[in-house]
Amino acid sequence: METYRIRPAGRHLITIGEGLIQDRYAAILELVKNSYDADSSDVIISFNVDEGRDNFTIIVEDHGHGMSIEEVIDKWMVPSTNDKVARRKSPNGRILQGRKGIGRYAANILGRKMKLETIQNSYKTTLFIDWDQFVNAKFLDEVELTIDNEVCSDKNGTKLTIVASKEDIDEWQKQIDILRSELKKLIPPGAPFLAKSEFKIMLVFNNFFLEQTKKHEEEIQPYPILDLYDYKITGKISADGTGKLIYENQKARNTLSEEVHFCLGQTNCGEIVVDIRVYDRDKDSIELLIARGLRDETTNKYLKNLETRQLLNSLNGIGVYRNGFRIRPLGDADFDWLKLNEQRVQNPSLKIGINQVIGYVHIESEEKSNLEERSARDGLKDNLAYNRLKEITCEIIASLEEKRFVYRRKAGLSKRTKVIEKELEKLFDYSHLQKSVSIALKKSGLNDLTISEINKMIEKEQIDKNAIIDDIKTTVAIYQGQATLGRIVNVILHEGRRPLNYFTNQISNLKFYTQKIKEDTSDSIFDKIIKITSGFHENASIFVNLFSRLDPLAAKTRATRSDYNLYQAIYTAAQVFENEFNIHSIEFSIKGSNIATWNGWKQDIYTIFTNLIDNSIFWMIHTKAQNKHIEISILEGENGDWYVDYEDSGPGIERDLLESGVIFEPEFTTKPNGTGSGLGLAIAGEAAQRNGLQLIALYNIQGVHFRLNKE
């Protein structure tokens, strides 16, 4: 038997560069990371064009520890080496960025020829590479490279000189702003992993721009707009899911930072540090943003409204950073990895869109976080850790969205949702019109009898219109009852699935035994048939019971207002969730008077308490509450009127949300993305008002506390 060796083709290194590195900007970013890994205090990227504009070079130079000739031969020239994986940290303690051992081959995207000069301990190693040699060679080991090594007196460092095509000059001139933007995004402001190590990125242009023949240098700095946010939430979530973040609002004057506490369970993606900055984009907010000091970096003039919007469009996105450097394309303006725009379409008053946010999410190394980069440098692998990263980031953003929603409501920056029934009553309330007409007619000298007749005509018109209002109110109440039924469809499906499965599975068995009885009339066959038919009866009873409990919410007509037993009405609403109480070990109790009566529509009581109980069950399960219970008390007040207190053992409601009243606003929800519509409490509140009642939320140390009483 003969043995053979795998021999990579000569194009292998070209494939690594062109196939795995996204574009020329990504290529330069890879070389910048290498300079960082070399413990350099800076990296200088220069674009150089000679006076005749015939020669164009790109130079990437650093002042790190450089490489010895052995390191060049045994590591730099070896594709996919695991050197950095094994070392993990640089000599000065920086966490190494390179993991795949391929970043250096990005240079072949930038030009066809390259010279590597690296100095370590007074020895300079020089390597010349013509990438076309690899294209033309059949096998990789057929390409011979010339390496020089000599003594020198220069300081340690590495310099890559890439000979680019002169045809690339015009293209780079058009797109240099994109590179500048990518470099600005590379290291976010206040990056926690870079706080102890200075690392500057310099851009240098030598005779590069036609209108600028002299040498031009600039240090890459974060965009000034980053400090001019409207709202910001920052802080650290530990691997166990706990964290204390800081929320800030720069739109409101004289406001203090606010602590926001999180307890999200094990992250499964390591420790996370977040910095989320949000900008309102309405006309007045853009003008306020400019007034805070948003100027052009070159001219120092204030930006205009359109320029500010364009700047936000180019910078928006939430980037993911590992050890301080962004993982592309996460954070690109057109890469909405958290699906923020989809959520905003569903709930525009509460949710923010991708074009409103500039954010930074810092993650740990692959070993600690299980967040693995794709080999093609195009994001993170889709695994459990990545999904948890998305969930946690969305929960943090949701916390900011809630506080932003409350502030905008208080400040009158968004339209407050009106209660439709009260607005309808205002629409056809002619009392002010009657008074004004009477005064005007009296002044004109018209006699009292005629004025009285005119007022009667107005009163009749109001009575006719009020009849229409009553019909509309009835229709709204029916729709809200059916909307509540839709909210608890999971309860219906869960409870109906078991009897439905019985019917599905036993029908075939019943058919089998009815055929078999023609051949075998023994008692055992009859017993099996009787057992199956008894099961049909038992499971049909479950359906009958379920539908009877749901019937009040599904009614297509509305009963007239009448006296009803309050205890019985609440008990009937709670019966819908009887199966859920048993499955999730939720203790449910109604205490107090069982003879109290109210006058109104019993269906509305069903609607109110169905929505309250459904919310309680969700939150107690979601937060893994211990000793889950719901307690309803029917009590008599000092004035002799009955009222109802509703409490549970869930996470409760934050005080600022209670004080603002936003929890009763349609579309406002604190449930995780996709699990809440923001309609439950709004429907419950309107059902109460329809009956001359008010549903209020009181602060409770643990769990929610609602009170339903007469207005």
DSSP secondary structure, 684-708, as one string: HHHHHHHTTEEEEEE--SSS-EEEE
Q: Choose among 695, 683, 698: nearest CA to 488.
A: 683
Q: Cα separation of 434 and 586, whole Å? A: 56
3-state secondary structure of 519: coil
3-state secondary structure of 218: strand
Q: Which of 462, 483, 504 is the last residue of a domain?
A: 483
Q: Which of 378, 410, 442 is the last residue of a domain?
A: 410
Predicted local distance difference test score (pLDDT) of residue 557: 55
Inside any domain, residue 541:
no
Predicted local distance difference test score (pLDDT) of residue 550: 55
Q: Is the pLDDT of residue 190 over 70?
A: no
Q: Cα separation of 555 and 324, whole Å? A: 59
Mean pLDDT along residues 476-502: 53
Helix (H) or strand (E) holding 260: strand 258-263
* Straight-line distance from the first to the last Cα atom of the chain, in angstroms, rounded to the nearest whole number: 95
Return the sign of the alpha-carbon dihedral for residues 506, 507, 510, 512: negative
- 678, 641: one domain: yes
Q: Kindly indicate the confidence band of residue 292, based on its pLDDT and cuts at 50, 70 and 90.
A: confident
Of 4-13, 63-72, 294-303, 315-324, the range with the lowest mean pLDDT is 4-13
Mean pLDDT along residues 66-75: 89
Q: Cα separation of 537 and 529, whole Å? A: 13
Q: Nearest 5°: phi and psi at 259?
A: -80, 135
Highest mean pLDDT (candidates 147-151, 328-332, 374-378): 147-151
**DSSP string covering 343-367, please?**
HHHH-TTTPPPGGGEEEEEEE--HH
Predicted local distance difference test score (pLDDT) of residue 272: 94
Amino acid symbol at 143: V
Instruction: Identify the residue whose tokens are 């949300």.
Output: 657
Q: Cα separation of 209 and 707, whole Å? A: 71
Q: Cα separation of 322 and 57, whole Å? A: 30
Helix (H) or strand (E) holding 243: strand 242-249
Of 10-19, 163-172, 444-453, the range with the lowest mean pLDDT is 10-19
Contact status, residue 496 vs residue 546, Cβ threshold 8 Å: yes
Contact status, residue 125 vs residue 67, Cβ threshold 8 Å: yes
Q: Kindly indicate the confidence band of residue 506, based on its pLDDT and cuts at 50, 70 and 90.
A: low
What does the block give as tokens for 344?
Answer: 């905003």
Q: Cα separation of 249 and 74, whole Å? A: 54
Q: Residue 574: CB partners within 8 Å, gap ≥ 6? A: 588, 590, 609, 613, 632
223 against 383, higher pLDDT:
383
Predicted local distance difference test score (pLDDT) of residue 388: 95
Q: Is the pLDDT of residue 181 over 80?
A: yes
Predicted local distance difference test score (pLDDT) of residue 416: 53
Q: Cis (ω within 30 of 0) for the bond into 348?
A: no
- 426, 354: one domain: no
Q: Choose among 709, 698, 485: nearest CA to 610.
A: 485
Output the 3-class SS for 292-338.
CCCECCCCCCECCHHHHHHHHHHHCEEEEEECCEECCCCCCCCCCCC
Mean pLDDT along residues 502-530: 70
Inside any domain, residue 90:
yes
Supply the DSSP symbol for 235. E
pLDDT per position as a tens digit, 93-115: 887 776 666 667 778 888 889 99
pLDDT per position as a tens digit, 212-265: 667 788 888 878 888 889 999 999 999 999 999 999 999 877 677 889 999 888
Looking at residue 141, which CATH number applies to its domain? 3.30.565.10
Q: Is the pLDDT of residue 486 over 60?
A: no
- 35, 127: one domain: yes
What does the block give as tokens for 595?
Answer: 């003879």
Contact status, residue 141 vs residue 13, Cβ threshold 8 Å: no
Give the range of the structural domain holding residue 114, as residue numbers without chain letter.
Answer: 12-219
What does the block give as tokens for 143?
Answer: 């390409």
Q: For the packed helices 448-487 and 680-690, what is the interaxial angle rounded to 10 degrees?
A: 140
Mean pLDDT along residues 156-182: 88
Tell me how crowded residue 140 is: count the other CB atoms within 10 A of its CB. Answer: 15
Supply the DSSP symbol for 667. T
Highest mean pLDDT (candidates 63-72, 77-86, 132-141): 63-72
- 448, 572: one domain: no
Nearest 5°: the CA angle 219, 222, 224 is 115
- 593, 452: one domain: no
Cα separations (Å) of 665 from 19, 191, 402, 603?
51, 38, 12, 22
Looking at residue 400, which CATH number applies to its domain? 3.30.230
Amino acid symbol at 14: I
339 against 538, higher pLDDT:
339
Q: Is the pLDDT of residue 318 over 60?
A: yes
Q: Is the pLDDT of residue 524 over 70?
A: yes
Mean pLDDT along residues 369-373: 90
Inside any domain, residue 173:
yes
- 354, 284: one domain: yes
Mean pLDDT of the chain: 80
- 170, 308: one domain: no
Domain count, the chain: 4
Q: Choose among 662, 683, 229: nearest CA to 409.
A: 662
Q: Cα separation of 272 and 249, whole Å? A: 22
Predicted local distance difference test score (pLDDT) of residue 552: 55
Inside any domain, residue 695:
yes
Predicted local distance difference test score (pLDDT) of residue 195: 46
Predicted local distance difference test score (pLDDT) of residue 210: 65
Q: Cα separation of 359 and 226, whole Å? A: 9
Inside any domain, residue 168:
yes
Contact status, residue 72 vs residue 195, Cβ threshold 8 Å: no
Task: Lay out the sheet containing 56-62: strands in order across.
Answer: 147-151, 123-130, 113-120, 157-164, 56-62, 42-49, 200-206, 216-219
Predicted local distance difference test score (pLDDT) of residue 242: 93
Q: Is the pLDDT of residue 485 over 70?
A: no
Torsion, Cα 332 333 334 336, to 10 degrees, reads 80
447 against 39, higher pLDDT:
39
- 214, 250: one domain: no
Q: Kindly indicate the confidence band of residue 132, based on its pLDDT and cuts at 50, 70 and 90.
A: confident
Mean pLDDT along residues 170-174: 86
CA 503 to chain centre: 42
Predicted local distance difference test score (pLDDT) of residue 193: 47
Q: Kindly indicate the confidence band of residue 611, based on its pLDDT and cuts at 50, 70 and 90.
A: confident
Helix (H) or strand (E) holding 498: helix 489-516
Q: Which of 390, 410, 430 is the last residue of a domain?
A: 410
- 441, 588: one domain: no
Contact status, residue 584 vs residue 617, Cβ threshold 8 Å: yes
Q: Is the pLDDT of residue 616 over 80?
A: yes
- 170, 29: one domain: yes
Contact status, residue 644 vs residue 634, Cβ threshold 8 Å: yes
3-state secondary structure of 89: strand
Highest mean pLDDT (candidates 81-85, 314-318, 320-324): 314-318
Cα separations (Å) of 497 from 87, 494, 537, 553?
56, 5, 16, 20
Q: Residue 117: CB partners within 8 Å, gap ≥ 6? A: 124, 125, 126, 158, 159, 160, 161
Q: Is the pLDDT of residue 123 over 90?
A: yes
Predicted local distance difference test score (pLDDT) of residue 634: 92
Q: Residue 561: CB partners within 8 Å, gap ≥ 6? A: 599, 600, 601
Q: Choose among 439, 434, 432, 441: nearest CA to 457.
A: 434
Predicted local distance difference test score (pLDDT) of residue 630: 94
Q: Cα separation of 237 and 399, whole Å? A: 14
3-state secondary structure of 522: coil
Q: Cα separation of 549 and 534, whole Å? A: 23
What does the block give as tokens for 361?
Answer: 């999410």
Contact status, residue 354 vs residue 336, Cβ threshold 8 Å: yes
Q: Is the pLDDT of residue 308 over 60?
A: yes
Q: Kindly indicate the confidence band of residue 182, based on its pLDDT and cuts at 50, 70 and 90.
A: confident
Predicted local distance difference test score (pLDDT) of residue 135: 80
Of 232-241, 307-316, 450-459, 558-567, the range with the lowest mean pLDDT is 450-459
- 300, 390: one domain: yes
Q: Cα separation of 227 and 396, whole Å? A: 20
Q: Kindly indicate the confidence band of residue 542, based on its pLDDT and cuts at 50, 70 and 90.
A: low
Inside any domain, residue 514:
no
Helix (H) or strand (E) holding 569: helix 566-575
Predicted local distance difference test score (pLDDT) of residue 676: 62
Predicted local distance difference test score (pLDDT) of residue 504: 65
Inside any domain, residue 489:
no
pLDDT per position as a tens digit, 638-695: 887 889 999 999 988 888 788 777 777 766 777 776 666 666 777 788 778 878 889 8
Tell me how crowded residue 252 is: count the other CB atoms within 10 A of its CB. Answer: 12
- 206, 232: one domain: no
Inside any domain, residue 526:
no
Q: Residue 430: CB partners within 8 Å, gap ≥ 6? A: 458, 459, 461, 462
Contact status, residue 243 vs residue 236, Cβ threshold 8 Å: yes
Q: Kindly indicate the confidence band of residue 369, based on its pLDDT and cuts at 50, 70 and 90.
A: very high
